[in-house]
Amino acid sequence: MHRRLFNARKENQLKQKELAVVLNISQSSYDNKEVGRHDFTLNQALTLAAIFDTSVDELFGELKEEVKEKVNDDWKKKTKGSNTIKSLKR
């Protein structure tokens, strides 16, 4: 779940449907993205950041470490556990 996005929406008393209209998507598609089942496009993320007068990093940044872990996990699966991304920097 994109906790900061959810909190920003609630603090600004906006409904998912209202943001979905702005993003030109359905309310159910917005819901799937807000809860993390699907990803927002870069354009959608930029639009949401502008609506809430913040940066994309601030709005979605809580995932930074989780994303790193996921990328490393995905890399391990694809390479059958032989390397991590960190080892490629050496």
Q: Predicted confidence band at 87 (pLDDT cuts at 50, 70, 90)?
A: low
Decide if pLDDT at 90 tops 60.
no
Domains and CATH numbers, the chain: 3-63 (1.10.260.40)
Give the least confident one: 26-30, 51-55, 65-69, 71-75. Answer: 65-69
**pLDDT of 77:** 78
Contact 27, 20 (CB under 8 A): yes
Q: How far apart are CA 45 and CA 55, in angstroms?
A: 9
Decide if pLDDT at 25 tops 80.
yes
CA atoms within 13 A on the CB side of 42: 0
